[in-house]
Structure 1
């Protein structure tokens, strides 16, 4: 399914207002339903909803064991059957991500990644990031989409786009979880800023490196330093900043 559509807009240029067709990113609400009850609603680009749901629910610990839960998408809604960790009366708070209706920001079950002794050549990261930008065609058309990818030293393994950067991350993580992919030898590319929420998601699935052309927040850097994750930001051309655990990056 496409994540963009064409709509009429008025373009003002050179003192003139002209009606034109323009590409607009789609954004819709999706309901997540368990045992006939709506757990929550979330805004998302209407593509790869099944993969998004698996990634989102797992990284927010609503689902802790995929083998004990059936997840499916039907008519733009997500249905769950089995064991879920969602208490309506429990504390749920907003995070710095856009589009989230609920987030259980719990750090107690995060693994420590310092044992993931993987290394990436920065020249290879630059090369793969160029490929990543070329694949982000819908961003070039509509301008309001984020991209995310899971990569290894050979290139991009999974790629997704969404109106929200964390949704795009959830989609690629969902794809990896559904295939049972081991992620300790991979890195995550994202087109948006690196927030603490993105770091938490990567740590939960043992992705040891995050790369973005944007910058991380202070809390993201603190979490990454604590949990052993390497953060690379401000990747522009052949330049970048490494904010934590630089020993994984070979110059």
Structure 2
């Protein structure tokens, strides 16, 4: 539990019978502005924890760096909300390049919307790693048990890097994308191989989330939440197994089911419209 994740608010609660003035916990919202080689690059609204990992993961996800070894120095000014990053090889950053959409072909298949930098950093996942349906329930339950900040505030998302047996480490943030960037930053810093790893996640499976999973290089994403149609189209194109609505011993397998052990003997039936 990290006290930097939470703040106290005065609140008047109604319990169905009476009104009561009390103190409640709420997730802290914290803006941090990232400078790269003395040039302002982006401002992220986040939870004020694991800020160095967040900055590294965000820059890697955006294609500014491939590895932390490309960074000369990082200085985090928590009081003022600034992160100053200097690269070993200075580069000129065209911010329009990172904010304009393009329509491109993903793996030669469906046409999808991307940021320009996504086309350069998204990876097709070829991992043949397998897991069982039981593993999905076990890991999601472990994420929820460990998510103390969510239970206390209801205002954060959680992302965890896992083996089939256990959670290796997890990150929390008010933003689901930030939680994944923090996870990515730790993976890069700790030189962790992800070819046999799984990401367990609390948030909605949007196209941006699937792209981040692709950039991290993990082949299996498990979430308690819903996907979007574009998210699943991208997952199919990028070789990512997406499992959603993992709740109360039920789940949905949306893409690349061949990584789920029980699917091998599954008999498909025609869906009648």
TM-score w.r.t. length of structure 2: 0.83
**Out of 71, 85, 110, which is 2:122 matched to?**
110
2:232 corresponds to 1:232: no
What stretches of structure 1 of length at least 5 have no aligned partner? 95-102
- Look up the match of 1:206: 217
Structure 1 residues 24 and 120, CA gap change in structure 2 (3 angstroms): same
Q: Matched residues in 2 for 1:219 and 1:205: separation?
A: 19
Residues 62 and 98 in structure 2, CA contact (< 8 A), matched pair in contact too: no
Task: Report deviation, 1:121.
Answer: 1.4
Can you give the 5+ residue segments of structure 2 that lack an aligned partner in the other structure? Answer: 102-114, 263-273
4+ residue segments displaced more than 4 Å: none
Q: What residue is the counterpart of 2:34 in the other structure?
A: 32
Alignment check: 8 A CA contact 2:32 2:46 kept: yes
| TM-score, normalisation: structure 1 | 0.90
Q: How far apart are 1:110 and its partner, in Å?
A: 2.4
Structure with more helix by fraction:
2
Quick check: 1:66 aligned with 2:77?
no
Q: Is 147-156 or 1-10 further displaced after alignment? A: 1-10
Equivalent-residue separation in structure 2 for 1:66 and 1:12 (angstroms): 49
What is the DSSP-based 3-state SS (H/G/I as helix, E as strand, rest coil) of the residue aligned with 1:204? helix
Of residues 44, 49, 52 in structure 1, which corresponds to 2:51? 49
By how many angstroms is 1:198 displaced?
Answer: 1.1
> Is 1:148 aligned to 2:187, yes or no?
no
User: For residues 59 and 84 of structure 1, do their structure 2 counterparts lie closer, same or farther at Cα, with a shift above 3 Å needed?
Assistant: farther
Question: Is 1:79 matched up with 2:79?
Answer: no
State the shift of 1:218 in Å: 0.7
What secondary structure does 1:119 align onto? coil
Q: Which has the higher Rg, Structure 1 or Structure 2?
A: 2
> The residue matched to 2:118 in structure 1 has which SS?
coil
Say whether residues 1:88 and 2:95 are aligned partners. yes
Structure 1 residue 75: deviation in Å?
A: 2.0
With over 3 angstroms needed to count, the CA separation of the structure-2 counterparts of 1:89 and 1:9, relative to structure 1, is same
1:114-137: per-residue Cα shift (whole Å, max 9, x none)? x31110111122112111100111
Counting matched residue pairs gives 242
